[in-house]
Structure 1
Amino acid sequence: MTSLTTPRTPPRAAPVEVPGGPDPAAYRAAMGRFPTGVALLTHGSGDATAAMTLNSLTSVSLDPLLVLVSIRADGRLRPVIADGGGFAVNVLGEEQLGLAREFSRAERPQGRAAMRRLGAVRGVSGHAVLPSAEASLECVLHTAHEAGDHVLFLGRVVALTCGPRPSAPLVFHQGRYERLPATRPEAAA
């Protein structure tokens, strides 16, 4: 007779507080090694359109459908989203590099000029969505949490659309926009 046992997990070491800890530049450099996708966060439409480039998007839950975005606490969109109760996230493909760069600037288009530049339409939630995006997620604000110099917004997805066919994603890595190689190796069998 064979006895099955569960392997023992060693006790976890207590966190060590390092006086001062790593400096912000070292932290930024370390996190820059983690490639992310690129999206446009929008709120409102028409004259009220506000948009910004975003690379902090995380799928959180399937029941309910929740996504998380992180934006600067002192940013222009933080009070707009908090007061307006929702937002849309538009996932960008590599052909939308120009939009990502333009909407990452402090002096980016707003209102109807932003709608025109993005080629956006008013989504069912009232927020600007890009028909050319890889995917658009329209959200109502579920919760908001202050987190250091950022605010984490959890949005409940109330509508989504996907482009007609997937294209290569736009990626942000080590402080630069990148493209994935055109061909990928086959998965090991």
Structure 2
Amino acid sequence: MTDDVDPDFYRRAVSRFASGVTAVTTVADGQDYAMTANAIASVSLDPVLMLVSVEQEARFHDAILEAGVFGISVLAADQRPTAAWLATRGRPLHGQLDRVPHHRGEATGVALLDDALATFELATTAVHPAGDHSIVVGHVRSVQASERPGEALLYYRGRFGAAK
């Protein structure tokens, strides 16, 4: 297939769409894996499904497929350093969550970030190849929403920002 859209221009144009920022986590072979993601979506209410888009070359990709479970933590504006850390390519795998306050989800055992605006635990139901990414669909097994007021962390024009 011949692309008629310049990928760099596409990236600049799509960056005009503000999106929320999350930390997506899984655990495979006893090892925690985490990444920053803004490509998540609610898919269905019956059953309750969400999706995340994961780059196929990322080490997180194989881990989430192997684990069959994952967590999504919706980040608050004051969690910008965590988002930046989990978006850093080449960071050490072992101990990557040592500097990130978290707890284990009761439904799946994945790490969920403390002070997140909301958390979800999911069991993978489908994986769809999509170009250089895979769309991982999960059945929501647990959901928590914070009562604390706070600004949401957003990603807009290639930068983290905040919105009330």
Normalised-by-shorter TM-score class: over 0.9
The equivalent residue for 2:102 is 120
- Equivalent residue in structure 1 for 2:117, among 115, 120, 134: 134
**Does the aligned pair in 1 maintain the 2:20–2:154 contact within 8 Å?**
yes
Deviations 1:112-148 (A, max 9, x none): x233312111111110011211111000001000000
Uncovered stretches (5+) of structure 2, i.e. residues with no partner: none
Query: Structure 2: how far apart are the matches of 1:167 and 1:49?
Result: 27
The equivalent residue for 2:147 is 164
Query: Structure 1: how far apart are the matches of 2:51 and 2:101?
Result: 25
Aligned-pair distance for 1:81? 0.8
Alignment map for 1:49-68 (pairs within 5 Å)? 49-68=32-51
Which residue type is aligned with residue 118 of structure 1? V
Which residue type is aligned with residue 80 of structure 1? A
User: Cα distance 1:157–1:20, how it changes in 2: closer, same or farther (>3 A)?
Assistant: closer
Uncovered stretches (5+) of structure 1, i.e. residues with no partner: 1-16, 183-189
Identical counterparts, % of pairs: 34
The equivalent residue for 1:98 is 81
Write out the 4+ residue segments of structure 1 that deviate beyond 2 Å after TM superposition. Answer: 107-111, 113-116
Matched, 1:24 2:2: no
TM-score by length of 2: 0.92
What is the number of residues matched between the two proteins? Answer: 163
**Highest relative contact order (Cα 8 Å, sep 6+), 1 or 2?**
2
Larger radius of gyration: 1
**Does the aligned pair in 1 maintain the 2:28–2:66 contact within 8 Å?**
no
Query: Structure 1: how far apart are the matches of 2:115 and 2:91?
Result: 19
Is the strand fraction higher in 1 or 2?
2
Query: Structure 1: how far apart are the matches of 2:11 and 2:128?
Result: 21
